[in-house]
Structure 1
């Protein structure tokens, strides 16, 4: 499960997608922080001359409409693909096909093989951005202001040659769903009933891991 990751800077987003989120965001992200993500441009926002992919920002941790406050984001930043369709926090976004891509330079996981958690920075071996499959939702706060939020989807990694090395010895190994570059548009446009087709492990030989120097908030 991923609770900590690095987002690309606005300049990088503009160079790749031609736009940046309308809200400021942090580059070092934890649940509850605001970060960038991609989604299919909504019908009312579509324009013949504009990209059909929208770069926006929201709270890391999905906030369904019934959330009382943003504190729920601390528990809804990852969604298990096996149960996402039934879990109260995620089932509406999954059923509606609210697909997002969470952009990350790197993710962090704890390496417990020494008996002590060693924060580890995991990146793509080619140094490209990770496009992580996720969901987004809208939430209206007590003040009436609408807020976007997002989460990352995860799959079992007990047999993944790299990601099985992380987390506590007795815990199930999990990993986020990193999409191949060629699948990004397809995931954003996929119908809800086709969502499960994208829940796959990213090849271990395309990732690399190094001990992190710092993971402080």
Structure 2
């Protein structure tokens, strides 16, 4: 699964990376070191004419949901069953998005029996795009809430040391196809939902304080000086 991630670049850098025009949501983002479920984070969508960046809340609430509690059960969406789950079926066909990140966290049992958080980063030190789905829900007062889920797949060789799932990480061409609303062929879309190459990723242990959502500072991504034995 994917339960925490980071986006430590500025909004301006994000717009440059995706070649986007500056939008009204420029003030919504500051560098983030511990993005957690239920929080709002930047996402990239295509409105049929161009790419746009804006804030979405993590935890997809389908448009037909009776309340917002469902969002806590839809933080991740398994690539293999997108068409089987009512919450994901329509977004998979019509409301696909990219979730920008520069790392994500996973936890592994260390030699001392405690769970050790690891930061998984691109080997090239850059930004990457996770495949996401989004939807918009209205509450009983007519107020809109736009939310997202991160699509996960089986692990590559790097990630299988840590977990049996990982987020779908898309290369630039794959990301363009995923966002393209004219692409409706299920087979073509499902072929994108595979583990990224193992050599794309590296990992290192970080301070366990990242487990507390209240911690959101550069200390979360700093490698610990005396790492435990993990592998």
Q: TM-score when scaled to structure 1?
A: 0.85
| 1:133-172 matches, cutoff 5 A | 133-157=131-155, 160-167=156-163
Equivalence for 1:185: 176
Distance apart, 1:39 and its partner CA: 0.9
| 1:95-106 matches, cutoff 5 A | 96-106=93-103
Q: Deviations over 1:151-174 (max 9, x none)?
A: 1111112xx22111124xxxxx00
Q: How many residues align?
A: 201
- Equivalent-residue separation in structure 2 for 1:207 and 1:92 (angstroms): 31
Change over 3 Å in CA distance of 1:139–1:93 after alignment to 2: same
Equivalence for 2:89: 91
Q: Deviations over 1:21-46 (max 9, x none)?
A: 6272562311110011111124xxx4
- Verify the 8 A CA contact 2:120 2:203 in the aligned structure 1: yes
- Verify the 8 A CA contact 1:132 1:176 in the aligned structure 2: yes
Distance apart, 1:54 and its partner CA: 0.9
SS state at 1:15 partner: helix
Task: Give every structure 1 segment of 4 or more consecutive aligned residues whose post-TM-superposition deviation is greater than 6 Å.
Answer: none
Equivalence for 1:198: 192
| 1:1-217 matches, cutoff 5 A | 1-7=1-7, 8-16=9-17, 17-20=20-23, 22=25, 24-25=28-29, 27=32, 28-42=34-48, 46=49, 52-94=50-92, 96-114=93-111, 115-157=113-155, 160-167=156-163, 173-189=164-180, 190-193=183-186, 194-213=188-207, 214-215=209-210, 216-217=212-213
Change over 3 Å in CA distance of 1:113–1:121 after alignment to 2: same
- Equivalent-residue separation in structure 2 for 1:204 and 1:66 (angstroms): 38
Distance apart, 1:113 and its partner CA: 5.0
Return 5+ residue gaps in structure 2 as ranges.
214-231
- Equivalent-residue separation in structure 2 for 1:62 and 1:131 (angstroms): 18
Distance apart, 1:146 and its partner CA: 1.4
- Verify the 8 A CA contact 1:177 1:200 in the aligned structure 2: yes
Distance apart, 1:13 and its partner CA: 1.6
- Verify the 8 A CA contact 2:154 2:194 in the aligned structure 1: no
Return 5+ residue gaps in structure 1 as ranges.
47-51, 168-172
SS state at 1:138 partner: strand
Q: Deviations over 1:40-64 (max 9, x none)?
A: 124xxx4xxxxx1111111111110
Two-structure CA RMSD over aligned residues (Å): 1.9
Change over 3 Å in CA distance of 1:204–1:100 after alignment to 2: same
SS state at 1:71 partner: helix
